[in-house]
Amino acid sequence: MRRIEGPEVLLYAQEAARHIALRTTLRPSIGLVLGSGWSQTAESLTPEAVLRYEEVPHFATPHVQGHPGQMVSGYLSGKPGLSLSAGVPIS
């Protein structure tokens, strides 16, 4: 995987954010980044949209068994939220 840095990081993040914003109407007030062993926590959200990492520009696909590699946009205790399972791999 090629290391990205400097202004390129911002451009990649903006492109990924635009892609995500087009696929969900929610604007999260809660964000969860879930590492190994915490993926089931995403099930606490009432889902509005599920995006696999390989669908999002510049997100890498996890190669560890059991990492779902997805983000879930939905509601957690009535508040809009976004969970990222297996970290946030940007390549």
Can you tell me the distance from the alpha carbon of 75 to that of 63, in angstroms, rounded to the nearest whole number? 28
Rounded to an integer, the average pLDDT of 23-41 is 83
Q: What is the pLDDT of residues 39-56, one digit of tens each?
A: 677 778 889 999 998 899
Q: What is the pLDDT of residue 87?
A: 53
Q: What is the pLDDT of residues 50-73, one digit of tens each?
A: 999 889 998 877 776 667 788 899
Q: What is the pLDDT of residue 52?
A: 92
Q: What is the pLDDT of residue 21?
A: 93
Can you tell me the distance from the alpha carbon of 87 to that of 91, in angstroms, rounded to the nearest whole number? 13
Residue 81 confidence (pLDDT) above 80: yes
% the chain with pLDDT above 70 = 85
Nearest alpha carbon to residue 32 among 71, 79, 77, 78: 71
Pairing label, strands 79-85, 30-34: parallel
Can you tell me the distance from the alpha carbon of 17 to that of 64, in angstroms, rounded to the nearest whole number? 24
Question: Greatest CA span in the chain, whole angstroms?
Answer: 39
Contact assessment for residue 48 and residue 73, using Cβ atoms and an 8 Å cutoff: yes
